Structures are given as C-alpha cells and as structure tokens.
Amino acid sequence: MTKMIALDLDETLLNTDKTISETNVATLRQLHAAGIKVVLCTGRPINAIWGYLEQLGLTTADDFTITFNGALVIQNNTKEALAQSGLSRHDFEPLFDFAKTQGYPLDVLDFEQVYPVTDLVPSIYHDMLRAPMDFTPKAFANLPDHLFSKAVMATKASILDQAVMALTPELKDQYHVVRSQPQILEFLAADMDKSVGLAQLLTHFGWDFEDLMAFGDAENDLGMIKAAGDGVAMLNAQPGIKAVATHITTADNNHAGVAKYLEQAFSELLS
C-alpha cells in the first residue's frame, strides 16, 4: 500500500498559472489527514513554495519537502535539514569555462540565495523564479567557499537547445543535467536527483520505494518516476517520462490530473 505521495510542482500539481486547483487541494488534504505522507519535490527552495505547503496543510512535525531537486531534504516547520549534499565552487569551474566560451548565462545557488555570475551574459533566472530568494551578483572567482545546491542556465529555449547540443561528454559525466523547463537547464551533482532525496526520506520513516507513489512530467522527475512503486506520468508529460511510468493520468495538470488519479487509487480512503 502507498504510504507516501511525491509530487512535482510545475506542469504536474500546479496549473499552468502556478496555482493548485481546489480539487487537488481537497483530495491531498483528505489523504494527508488519513495518514498518507504528501511530499512536494521541487528544484526551488522551501521559502519559494511555502504558500503551497500552507494551502495543502503540510505543516506538521512529520512533514518534509524535497528541495533543490533532491539536494536538500527539509522539515517544513523547523526548516532543519534531514539530509543535504551539493557541489563546491571548484566543481563548477568546468561549467563556468564552458558558459564563458560559448556565451551562456549561469546562476549558482546555495541553499539560501542565488548568485548570478556577473562575468557571463545576463540571465533571466530572476524573472523566471519569481520567489522570495535573495539574488547576490558575483564574479565567479568571488563566489563563497561553501556548498552549493546546483547551477542553472536560464535563457531563451532556442539558446538552451544549442547549449544542450554543445555539452561535451565530460560535462555530461561530471553533472546530472536536466531540462526542468524549456528556459531552464540545471546542473546538479552527477548522482543527484529527486529520487536521492526521497530515498533518504523513505529511510527516515522506515519505508522503501515500494511504498512510494510519485507524480511528474519532465526530465527532473525521471529518477523518482522510475524508482517509485507507482510512478505516475501526467497526461501532459514528456514522452520519455511516460515511457518509464507505471501509469499515466487521464487528465493533464490543468484539469486536476493528480486528484483524478488519486480518487481511483485511494477510492476507499476518499469515499
């Protein structure tokens, strides 16, 4: 039986206008009240999604969120880390060299703020993130000497198409590269994705992936969809996600696809 539900946000739980439908909210609240763990899984920091956590009632002592695409597992109320991993400035040097040579932007994120790299072309990440997170522009050489969660290239989709084609085999080996949105390309530690954070959280509760149901639509959801006992691709998901999913929702993210699937899967609990 499913004990935990993991949910991607953009184009999965959220409508395209970045809101959660009343149907999704009501269904998830009912399952949470019945003892099912509901876990949001995102590339964003927790402060950027706090409104969604409150809306869903995920504010008890046993509620956690997977942030930064798995690099930080955080308790929702205390903001204490259950597990954390990342990369150093040195680790990002090959990526910086690539971006500078090819003419791409780069933002480097730790677990509290974003550092737009000023010795590269301008990024659109600030405008896209639209979150309460500090942006502190820095030259790459002046980045703090501490752990970072990821780096992102944020620019026009057509430019990122070119960047993906230009990535060298060495860069693909060094980083886990995911296209989380058409205008955002993310670079994580090579062994990092949402399934890593979920594995740590499942272990915390004494469970394993057979106890997990995961919903997603894009490249950065692939790991958790493949690992979950029930990996659910949205109707609007990328073909590669649908290919590895156990099930596919009958409705897309704009028509409460998550809730409609849950109503069938948990018909007894929700009756």
Query: SS3 for the chain, per residue?
Result: CCCEEEECHHHHHECCCCCECHHHHHHHHHHHHCCCEEEEECCCCHHHHHHHHHHHCCCCCCCEEEEHHHCEEEECCCCCEEEECCECCHHHHHHHHHHHHHCCCCEEECCCEEEEECCCCCCCHHHHHCCCCEECCECHHHCCCCCECEEEEECCHHHHHHHHHHCCHHHHHHEEEEEEECCEEEEEECCCCHHHHHHHHHHHHCCCHHHEEEEECCHHHHHHHHHCCEEEECCCCCHHHHHHCCEECCCCHHHCHHHHHHHHHCHHHHC
Kindly give the pairing relationship between strand 64-67 and strand 107-109: unpaired
The catalytic residue among 8, 110, 217, 230 is 8
Give the amino acid at 89: R
CA–CA gap between residue 36 and residue 3 (Å, rounded): 5
Catalytic annotation on 193?
no
Of 84, 79, 36, the residue nearest 56 (C-alpha): 36
**Catalytic sites, residue numbers:** 8
